[in-house]
Chain A
């Protein structure tokens, strides 16, 4: 926008491709202490998970999962994809605030958030691959001549792919800075706003689209959870799910990577937390109010006094209304512990909500003995995916300018 006063580019120090490859190879070497408790536990889980994934590919889904004809979707969809994508919602919310509304306040956390979102899509949406019975056909919705364009899942498949690209473009300036590629950095930086606009539009639709997957499960999902507004509710809840994840991830990162974070960011961070907390509270209030209207409209009073009804109340009161109030109180009193508690409660609420719709309230009439309960192998594979994502996240933030340390030549001129 404000591109008339282009300052003369600093001297481009020539880097050949050979230099870059040598640099990347040197960066690949692990750093820091190897034998920490976290590394040992997560490393062992990843190795075990890798073997189980191999076993699943050779022997079929039945060998490792407890899926059945009655419960075709388990935690790989209900948790990995549904919850993982909701938690990744922070990226589209914050890019909206920073690049569209141009609020500088959140600029210091935008890269970590976008990186988190990108990796969440790569790993958790990538978990779809494991769940596909005929995974070798995964490219069929992209290439060929048989497109089920009327399918909600077709839309989601395309959106996941395009959104991963958009998030990669949003994050790519950090990679260029890491490699010291000034011209490339300038070009990639000019793509950011475009990627943000496309990314927000895609996010709106596929966050809602994950809910729309259950529209045709009418009659299979308990009436307290099945409403025609599931897509809208999925979208609204992804706002506070994503922001809660940003709070949660931030509080861990600020402890683990504190040396990476600029000092001024540390002091400004509490103000950011309070802002995020207020945003969560507002979005949650809207969500809670809409759920309340849907409940009233559905005329389901008699269902409340059943075991499923109590479970519904725990979700809506205990894991939506209560954390909403805590966020509000936390923002008002500036209490960081309170905000973190609210974020954790909210995240549990999102997990419970997504699992309710996809598994727990799904065919609620089937007795517990015949219900789907994940096998230990499904859980280990899920943990292995989460740990791998954390490892990749750690590798990137310890090498690229994510939390700070942007080279002086690349400091953005905020327009």
Chain B
């Protein structure tokens, strides 16, 4: 009996219905790479030289001050007794680590990855990688907290005790950057432990310090390659895992890990319906034949 026009059109309709979400959901580029499209702007970042940090926590105070967060009492050294994570009210914290080379202080905040996991996790683009480098949060967020699952550094923090909760984290002072100012923490640092600049310049400067004073630093800039490169870069005299930085994260940008799945989406949405309609047609014919032959069933 074959396929009459009506049935054919019906099947075609189903196929097209399958293709439509397929093309809608097909991934484009997973994330911006080193520089913004057009190449007019470079990613900005901060170089943290932990050999220069004295643990004064001026950066913590400046950060709280410029973002309207509760200002910490930086005279109270008890806060340094244990290693603190960042929180929804403390976007940056300085921690003290007891190492073979004595006490080392290290600042912690959002790393502003080149290809951030949180940004590719966000289904409403509330998390955004700005053209000049900062990773920022916006109020169209649904509060699903997938960014928290996907951040290799556990940086996005959620306001659980609010009925109108926000995701809180360091924004690299994006609002100040737009005015041509430096991030508040960099400006407040009295020991020049923090240097603000383009990533490219900061990597050059980091290498200059490493090779200028042989043996002073671990010969590696943390963040140059970690998770595909980060905006915050660290220099240290002791191995990085001794100052609270994960050294097991690898150099693969985190969005790459879900790329394999995302790339399979349009393929499955195109091939599966075609296959299913084909099988459906075949089994239908089989029944026709059986019926034509007198039908054992």
Q: What residues of B have a CB within 8 angstroms of the CB of A133 in the complex?
A: 141-145, 158-159, 165
Task: For the complex formed, measure the closest distance between the CB of B160 and the CB atoms of chain A, giving whole angstroms.
Answer: 3
Task: For the complex formed, measure the closest distance between the CB of B199 and the CB atoms of chain A, giving whole angstroms.
Answer: 22
Q: How many A-B residue pairs have CB under 8 A?
A: 207
Report yes or no: B21 in contact with A158, Cβ–Cβ below 8 A: yes
A204 interface residue (CB < 8 Å to B) = yes
Chain B 99-124 interface residues, beta-carbon cutoff 8 Å to A: 117, 120-124
Chain B 156-204 interface residues, beta-carbon cutoff 8 Å to A: 157-165
Chain A residues bordering chain B, tally (CB within 8 A): 73
Q: What residues of B have a CB within 8 angstroms of the CB of A128 in the complex?
A: 144
Say yes or no: A134-B28 contact (C-beta < 8 A), given A69-B154, A152-B262, A198-B14. Answer: no
Q: What residues of B have a CB within 8 angstroms of the CB of A367 in the complex?
A: none
Q: What residues of A have a CB within 8 angstroms of the CB of B30 in the complex?
A: 150
Stretch at the interface among B45-53, B59-67, B237-245, B252-260: B252-260
- Cα distance A63–B165 in the bound complex, in angstroms: 12
- Cα distance A79–B127 in the bound complex, in angstroms: 27
Report yes or no: B269 in contact with A73, Cβ–Cβ below 8 A: no
- Cα distance A372–B144 in the bound complex, in angstroms: 17
C-beta contact mask, A85-118 vs B, less than 8 Å → 1, else 0? 0000000000010011110000000000000000
- Cα distance A241–B31 in the bound complex, in angstroms: 35
> Nearest A residue to B26 by beta-carbon distance?
A149
C-beta contact mask, B41-80 vs A, less than 8 Å → 1, else 0? 0000000000000000000000000000000000000000
Stretch at the interface among A53-61, A343-351, A383-391: A53-61
> Nearest A residue to B118 by beta-carbon distance?
A216
Task: For the complex formed, measure the closest distance between the CB of B275 and the CB atoms of chain A, giving whole angstroms.
Answer: 9
Report yes or no: B123 in contact with A201, Cβ–Cβ below 8 A: no
Q: What residues of A have a CB within 8 angstroms of the CB of B249 in the complex?
A: 219
> Nearest A residue to B248 by beta-carbon distance?
A219
A262 interface residue (CB < 8 Å to B) = no
Contact of B283 (CB < 8 Å), options: A101, A135, A159: A101
Report yes or no: A151 in contact with B149, Cβ–Cβ below 8 A: no
Report yes or no: B279 in contact with A101, Cβ–Cβ below 8 A: yes
B83 interface residue (CB < 8 Å to A) = no
B10 interface residue (CB < 8 Å to A) = yes
Report yes or no: B122 in contact with A151, Cβ–Cβ below 8 A: yes
Report yes or no: A141 in contact with B123, Cβ–Cβ below 8 A: yes
Report yes or no: B276 in contact with A100, Cβ–Cβ below 8 A: yes
Apart from A198-B18, A201-B269, what 15 extra A-B contacts exist at CB < 8 Å? A137-B142, A146-B124, A148-B121, A150-B28, A150-B255, A152-B261, A155-B265, A158-B21, A193-B14, A212-B258, A216-B150, A218-B152, A218-B254, A219-B249, A228-B260
What are 21 pairs between A and B in contact, CB < 8 Å? A59-B163, A67-B160, A70-B154, A100-B280, A102-B280, A132-B142, A133-B158, A134-B143, A150-B27, A150-B120, A152-B258, A152-B261, A193-B14, A197-B14, A200-B272, A201-B269, A208-B261, A214-B149, A219-B248, A228-B257, A231-B261
5 nearest A-B pairs in the assembled complex, by CB-CB distance = A133-B143, A62-B160, A216-B150, A134-B143, A154-B123
